[in-house]
Amino acid sequence: MRLGLFDPPEDVFAAVMFHYATLPRIVVSLVAGASLGLAGAAMQAVLRNPLASPTTLGVSAGAQFALALAALAGPAATVLPREAWSLCGALAATGLVYLIGRRTGFEPARLALAGMAITLFLSAASAALILFNEQQLAFLFLWGSGHLAQSDWTSATILIAAFVAALAALIAASRAIGLLAVGDQLAASVGLKTETARLAVLLLAVALTACVVTRIGVVGFVGLAIPAIVRLCRPRSVARSLLASAVLGGLALFAADALAQLSSELTGRLVPAGAVTALFGAPVLFVLLSRTRLPARPHQPAGHTDGRFHDAGLGLLAGLAATLVVVAAAALLIGRTGAGWELLAPSGDGALFLARLPRVAGALLAGAAIALSGLLVQKIVGNDLASPELLGISNGAAAGIVFSALVLGVLSRTALLLSGIVGALGATLVVLWFARRHRDQIAAVLLAGIALGVFLDSIIRIALATASMQAVALLTWLSGSSVLVSLPEVLGLGLLLAATVAVVLAFRRPVALIDLGAEVPQALGLKVRAVQTGMLALAALLASAATMVIGPLSFVGLLAPHLARALRARRLAVQVAATLLLGAIVMTLSDFVGRVAMAPWQVPGGLVAGLVGSLGFILLTSRRRVAGAGA
């Protein structure tokens, strides 16, 4: 008699399907989830960083990008197995994050920020690859977000082997991990080679993640949320915390995949498990964070501690303005055809000049707007790592626009802008409410913002997957394309920006005071709530308007205020002006590069800015720290 469980009769498809599709899928979901939970827990322990995870340290993104490259290289890439490419990519990305982290003493938020910057950089690069190889990389859309369907036991076997090996090694090393989790000094005092031990554990976690990404793609948030949830239960030992993270991670992904399959069944579309983990993982983490009092850490404002007060004056602004003029002139006058480069004479070819003017001006103004929004957000949150992109505000604007386009059927761009503002305001309020409760908790606020952003992003993706074609076509800007901007819209954006700048400068004293926290301005008689709310409205307005032109992931709102600060623009008026100019320069240049780099093909300016901005920010953080260490 055949049981059909371990040796299914080949002529009964249901038996074969149960054995080779259903069972391995269950095993893969359990083991992959367990692996991600384990990897996340190990990373968070040895880095003493609640923000560390395969997603936030760029591990998954690195592995995925390397796999996409290998897929494009075709037969040439088959010299090495997919796992090897994935591991190379994961190691390269994590290595970069680690190098940046070591310079900053592994300060949690900064490390996660470097990881997020690299993740954003790599997802922008992946988006560019998909843009030019749409058909070959179509699988990335599904596979890239954790589609767990199986047709044999290969993935399950590999994942089990990797998981068991990693679990054994980490449990064996749990004493060392425990020491590292307490502190480097203590660990060194009992004779542990801290750097070597930390690297070994990280390497293990990275290899495990790379393995998972190779087999099922990126499943976000399990590695971040699960160890966080476990930590809230205060496990008594490192080994227990690792084990609990693995078990809970496995169950979480299993449940997520069950839900994904159920919704696939109901909607008639394939819903990948990764979409579900992002949708549920983010709010769960958000709620847990907001209900828990985390141990307070002293707030250390960066760059205010060196005692000297250099303020770049009008010279800096003149220089930036001159740069902007040069960049804008180049963007307006230099073009590239399929045949070669050409210089445009405005008098000679007026039609072409008029076709180019709105997108150059639109990019310039949108860059300035998102930059100013970034500056305001950083002041409201009291944290120079905040930005509309990282705190989910841009995603809020995008979600608002998508909602009104898809659900309410609104298609006028003015109405979309208004709904974008509502979405951005909503997202800002959520983050701000959170930031008020955890004012001294940079890491927590950032984590909440990232969670909100990922949550909104996954909603947008699900909504778009079920959208009608006209709504989808309308949402071209999601990739940051400035091609739709018209001249009247540019005028509107310009006046909006001018009005906002006027308001900020008119209220420059309260805006500057907000930077000092809640107590000092209150003592000086400032209505903190009112000022914050006003700034919040302005920031949401600017972020929404900019998102309409350059998409939600330009990174300029984070980059420009940082650059302004690095250039020693400290006084508010100078800071505002420098931030505006820098945002405009970066975005104009990005749009220009996107237009000419691959001509006649176009890369959306927001995508180029995402690439350039995240890369620039990675370099900037590491360089600034070197200078600080040398002084």
| Three-class DSSP category at 342 | strand
Which value, in Å, is the radius of gyration of the alpha carbons in the chain? 25
Please identify, using beta-carbon distances, which residue of 522 and 602 lies nearer to another protein: 602
Instruction: For the CB of residue 132, give the shortest distance to another protein in the complex, in Å.
Output: 8
Please identify, using beta-carbon distances, which residue of 41 and 260 lies nearer to another protein: 260
Cα gap 75→603, rounded to integer Å: 27
Please identify, using beta-carbon distances, which residue of 41 and 156 lies nearer to another protein: 156
Instruction: For the CB of residue 466, give the shortest distance to another protein in the complex, in Å.
Output: 9
Cα gap 452→398, rounded to integer Å: 13
The 3-class secondary structure across 383-427, one letter per residue, is: CCCCCCCCCCHHHHHHHHHHHHHHCCCCCCHHHHHHHHHHHHHHH
Phi, psi of 571 (to 5 degrees): -65, 140
Contact assessment for residue 112 and residue 443, using Cβ atoms and an 8 Å cutoff = yes
Please identify, using beta-carbon distances, which residue of 187 and 369 lies nearer to another protein: 369
Instruction: For the CB of residue 607, give the shortest distance to another protein in the complex, in Å.
Output: 11
Instruction: For the CB of residue 579, give the shortest distance to another protein in the complex, in Å.
Output: 19
Instruction: For the CB of residue 6, give the shortest distance to another protein in the complex, in Å.
Output: 13
Phi, psi of 335 (to 5 degrees): -130, 170
Contact assessment for residue 102 and residue 44, using Cβ atoms and an 8 Å cutoff = no
| Three-class DSSP category at 341 | strand
Cα gap 567→561, rounded to integer Å: 10
Please identify, using beta-carbon distances, which residue of 11 and 306 lies nearer to another protein: 11
Q: What crossing angle do the helices spanning 605-630 and 350-381 adopt, rounded to 10°?
A: 50
CA angle 30, 31, 34 (to 5 degrees): 85
| CA distances from residue 630 to 92, 314, 317, 366, 566 in whole angstroms, order as listed | 26, 28, 28, 37, 16
Please identify, using beta-carbon distances, which residue of 225 and 332 lies nearer to another protein: 332
Instruction: For the CB of residue 615, give the shortest distance to another protein in the complex, in Å.
Output: 23
For 45-71, give one letter per residue: b (16+ CB within 10 A) or e. bbbbbbbbbbbbbbbbbbbbbbbbbbb
Please identify, using beta-carbon distances, which residue of 142 and 165 lies nearer to another protein: 142
How many Cα atoms occupy the beta-carbon half-sphere of 64 within 13 Å?
Answer: 33
Contact assessment for residue 68 and residue 192, using Cβ atoms and an 8 Å cutoff = no
Instruction: For the CB of residue 13, give the shortest distance to another protein in the complex, in Å.
Output: 5
Please identify, using beta-carbon distances, which residue of 349 and 440 lies nearer to another protein: 349
Sequence-separated (6 or more) residues with CB below 8 Å from residue 516:
none
Please identify, using beta-carbon distances, which residue of 94 and 500 lies nearer to another protein: 500
Instruction: For the CB of residue 7, give the shortest distance to another protein in the complex, in Å.
Output: 11
Cα gap 230→209, rounded to integer Å: 19
Please identify, using beta-carbon distances, which residue of 10 and 519 lies nearer to another protein: 10
Contact assessment for residue 316 and residue 457, using Cβ atoms and an 8 Å cutoff = no
| Three-class DSSP category at 199 | helix
Cα gap 222→230, rounded to integer Å: 12
Please identify, using beta-carbon distances, which residue of 45 and 417 lies nearer to another protein: 417
Alpha helix (H) residue ranges in 271-349: 273-291, 314-333
Cα gap 89→373, rounded to integer Å: 34
Binding site for another protein (CB under 8 A): 8, 10-11, 13, 16-17, 19-21, 131-132, 134-135, 138-139, 142-143, 147, 149-153, 268-270, 335, 337-338, 351-352, 354-356, 412-415, 417-418, 468-470, 472-474, 476, 481, 483-484, 486, 488-489, 491-492, 495-496, 499-500, 502-503, 506-507, 541, 595, 599-602, 604
For 252-269, give one letter per residue: b (16+ CB within 10 A) or e. bbbbbbebbbebeeeeee
Please identify, using beta-carbon distances, which residue of 99 and 495 lies nearer to another protein: 495
Instruction: For the CB of residue 308, give the shortest distance to another protein in the complex, in Å.
Output: 33
